[in-house]
Chains A and B, each alone.
Chain A
Amino acid sequence: MLEVKDLHVTVEDKAILNGLNLTINAGEVHAIMGPNGAGKSTLSAVIAGKDGYEVTQGTILFEGQDIFEMEIEERARAGLLLGFQYPIEIPGVKNIYLLKAALNAQRAARGEGEIPAPEFMKLVREKSAEMKMDPSFLQRAVNEGFSGGEKKRNEILQMLVLQPKLAMLDEIDSGLDIDAMKVVASGVNSLRSADRAILLVTHYQRLLNHIEPDRVHVLVDGRIVKSGDKELALELEARGYDWVLEESAA
C-alpha cells in the first residue's frame, strides 16, 4: 500500500530524513518510535504533502502511484489520512461543517454524489458516540478551545467518518487520559481490516497494548535503524534508545 524508498528530506537546508525506507502492506498496523526530533512527524507530513519540506532524493508510492505527483487534497481523496500531532484550530468553522465538506469532497472524487443530510447526521452521531464525544462538539468551531485529549478524539472522529485506506496517526495517544486512550484505541481498531493499513507514531508502548502492531520501527536521525515485531516496543520501553544506536553504529 505504501512504499517509501531511500527518502531524503531537508528543511531549510537542514537534513532531516536521510535515506528512509518503509513498506506497509494492506491489512497491517505499523508503529514508529524514536527519540524527539528524529523526524517522525516530518515523515508523515511529507507523505501527506505539507509544504516547506524539500525532498532531495527518493520516492514514495501510495497504491503504486507516485505521491509527489499528487496535490495534498488528491492524496487525501485517494485514501490517505494524517492525524495531526497538534490538531489545528479553525475559528468560526463548525466541526460538523468541516466533516461534511471533507466527506463530500472525497465522495465527489470517487464519483459519488453528496451524502444526504439525514444519512450524514446519523453517521456523525454514531461515530461521535463511539468516540464518547458529546454531540455539542459537532457544533463548536473546529478544535477551538478543545482540550488536548478532545482534539485527539476529534482527529479519530474525522478518521472514522472518512474511512481512509491508510491512516497515519501522529502521537494520537499524547495527552489522553486512561479511559480516552481506550476509546481512541477501539476507534482505531475498528478501522482495521484486510484492505486498510495504519501507521502509528508513538512514544509509549502503552498505546500498543491496545492497538497491537504487526511491525515496530525505530527511527533515529532520519533513518529507520531497527525493525521488529511488537516485542521490540517492550524492549524499547525497558531499555531506551541508546542500545539501538550502539547496535546500528556497530
Chain B
Amino acid sequence: MASEEMEQLVRREYKQGFVTDIESDTVPPGLNESTIAFISQKKGEPQWMLEWRLEAYHQWLKMTPPSWAHLDYPPIDYQAISYFSAPKKPEDRPQSLDEVDPKLLETYEKLGIPLHERAALAGVAVDAVFDSVSVTTTFKEKLHEAGVIFCSISEAIREYPELVRQYLGTVVPQADNYFAALNSAVFTDGSFVYVPEGVKCPMELSTYFRINAANTGQFERTLIVCDKQAQVSYLEGCTAPMRDENQLHAAVVELVALDDAYIKYSTVQNWYPGDEDGKGGIYNFVTKRGDCRGDRSRISWTQVETGSAITWKYPSCMLRGKESIGEFYSVAVTNGRQQADTGTKMIHIGEGTRSTIVAKGIAAGRSDQSYRGLVKIGPRAKGARNYTQCDSLLIGDQCGAHTFPYQEIGNSTATVEHEATTSKIADDQLFYCRARGIDEEDAVSMIVNGFCKDVFQELPMEFAVEAEALLNVTLEGSVG
C-alpha cells in the first residue's frame, strides 16, 4: 500500500475514532491516531509533542517486529492493548498491608526490604500507611538547591519544553527499532533528569525513586542529561517482584553525557517471570542507549536482571566524544522457563575511546539465555580499546547459555579483547562447600554470588546487598 493511501486511511480512522470521551480515565484497547491524541491531550502536552508522537506512529506502522533475537514468543496483538489508564485511585488500592498477598510480603521479607517501603511497593495507598510527603519534600529541596531537575517526563514536557525538545529522541530516534517507535508514539510514564554544568548530584536518585515510582508503567520513557562536568547516579527498578497486568513492556531510556560528565545508571529488575510454564510473565523489550557526546564523558550501565518471561535488551553506548568511556556490567539470571536475550553495544566513534563489558549469565532450570554483544570501532576512533568478558554459569543440565560476540573493527589502531567462559556450577565446588557442612542451597548461592562479584561491586552499596538476596530468592529450589 502506498504511504499516501495509508495516511489517508489512518486519518480516516483518526476522525472516526475520535469519539473517545476525554473525561474517561482509560481508552478502549487499540492503537490509532485518536488514541495518541487522547494520550497527548490527557498529559496536557504542547502541539509539537503530539506531532512527534504521530511521526513515530507512522514510522511504526511501516516496521516489523524483530525476529532475529534468540527468543521464542507468540505474536503480540497490539490492537488488544490498552494504551492509557490513569493510576488507580487510592480507594481502589489495598488500604493496609493486611490486604496484600502474604506470599508477596514473604518475598519482601526475604529480600530485606525496609518495612516502610514494603507498603509502597505492594501498592498500598501510601498515605494510609506512612507519611511519605515529608521524605519527598526533603529530597526535592536538596535537589532543588543543587539545581538538579528530577521529575516525571510528562511534567518535564510541560515545564521544561526547551530542554526536552533539545534532547528527546536524539539518542534513540523515533524509528530506531520497532519497540522504540511504539514507545515514542504512546509513552505515558518515565523520568526526566537534568544535572547542570559542574554539579554533582547530591544523592543517588534511587532512594527517592523507589518510594515514589514503585508503579512502573508499560511504556516508560526516561531521559537523563548530564551537562559539562556534571555527575549523577541513577537507580532504576527494585528488587521486589513486580507484578503487572500488562504483559508487554517497551521502555526507552536515553542518556546524554556532555564534556567530562559521568552518568552511572544501575538497574535491578525483578519482573514477574510467570508460573513454571512461563504463563502470565512479562515481556520486556527495552531500548537503552547512552550517548557520550562530550569529550572525556563516561556512561556506565550496571544491571542485575531476573524475572521476565522474555527479556530483550541491549543497553549501549555511543562513544562520540574524544576519550569517552562506556561501561557495561551485567548479571542476568534465568530460571524456570525464562528466556533472555541481552547484551550491549559499544560504538566507538571518537578518538581514544574506551569500553569495558563484563557480562555474567546464570541459567538454571529449563531457562535459556543469550549474550549478544557488538563492539564497533569506527574509522575515526584511533587508539580505541575494548575489553569484553562474558561468563556463563549453568546450574543443572536442562538450561542453556549462548554467546554471540560481534566485532566490527574499522580502525587498525584499535585493541579489542574478548574472553568468554561457560562453566557448569562445578560439582567439586559444591562438594567442597558441603563437605564443610554448608547445605546445598546455601552453597549454590555462595558460589553464584562469588561468580557475580565483579558486577555487584559496581552497584551502589545498599543495592549490592539486595541484589545478592534477590539472586538467592531467584535460584531457590534450583538444585536438589
Contacts and interface: CB of A to CB of B under 8 A. Distances in A.
A1 interface: no
A63 to B, nearest CB: 16
11 contacts: A50-B431, A73-B434, A76-B435, A76-B436, A90-B432, A90-B433, A98-B438, A101-B438, A102-B436, A102-B438, A162-B436
A75 B453 CA distance: 30
Interface in B402-436: 426-429, 431-436
B449 interface: yes
A138 interface: no
Contacts of A89: 429
A105 B431 contact: no
Contact of B450 (A81, A105, A141, A158): A141
B436 A84 contact: no
A90 B450 contact: yes
Given A93-B447, A162-B436, 15 more contacts: A48-B435, A73-B439, A76-B436, A88-B431, A90-B433, A91-B450, A91-B451, A91-B453, A92-B449, A92-B450, A101-B436, A101-B442, A105-B439, A109-B437, A158-B436
Given A98-B446, A101-B446, A88 B437 contact: no
B258 interface: no
B442 A88 contact: no
A4 interface: no
Given A50-B431, A84-B432, A92 B438 contact: no
Contacts of A76: 434-437
By size class, the interface of chain A is: 20 to 34
A77 B442 CA distance: 15
Contact of B429 (A51, A88, A162): A88
A92 B437 contact: no
Contacts of B434: 49, 71-73, 76
Contacts of A87: 432
A228 B164 CA distance: 87
Contact of A92 (B428, B433, B435, B452): B452
Nearest to B428: A88
A16 B436 CA distance: 25
Contacts of A92: 449-454
Interface in B79-108: none
A106 B433 CA distance: 12
B204 interface: no
B25 interface: no
Most chain A CB within a 10 A radius of its CB, from B440, B446, B452: B446
A105 B437 contact: yes
Contacts of B447: 90, 93
Contacts of B438: 73, 98, 101-102, 105
Nearest to A144: B450
A106 B437 contact: yes
Interface string A37-65: 00000000000111110000000000000
Nearest to B454: A92
Interface in A91-131: 91-93, 97-98, 101-102, 105-106, 109
B442 to A, nearest CB: 7
A147 to B, nearest CB: 18
Contacts of A90: 429, 432-433, 446-447, 450
A188 interface: no
Contacts of A82: 435
Contacts of B440: 73
Nearest to B450: A92
B433 to A, nearest CB: 7
Contacts of A162: 436-437
Nearest to B442: A101
A72 B427 CA distance: 13
Contacts of A51: 427, 431
Nearest to A80: B435
A48 B431 CA distance: 9
Contacts of A97: 446
Contacts of B427: 51-52
B264 to A, nearest CB: 22
Contacts of A88: 426, 428-429, 431-432
Contacts of B436: 76, 81, 98, 101-102, 105, 158, 162
A91 B453 CA distance: 9
Nearest to B434: A72
Nearest to A102: B436
Contacts of A50: 431, 435
A141 B449 CA distance: 12
A109 B437 CA distance: 9
Contacts of A91: 450-451, 453
Nearest to A107: B437
Interface string B441-473: 010001101111110000000000000000000
Contacts of A71: 434
Contacts of B451: 91-92
Interface string B158-186: 00000000000000000000000000000
B133 to A, nearest CB: 38
A97 to B, nearest CB: 7
A127 to B, nearest CB: 15
Contacts of A75: 435
B91 to A, nearest CB: 45
A87 to B, nearest CB: 7
Given A73-B439, A102-B438, A106-B437, A93 B446 contact: yes
Residue of B432, B440, B451 with most partner-chain A CB within 10 A: B432
Interface string A1-20: 00000000000000000000
Nearest to B447: A90
Nearest to A93: B450
Most A Cβ at <10 Å: residue of B433, B442, B452: B433
B19 to A, nearest CB: 60
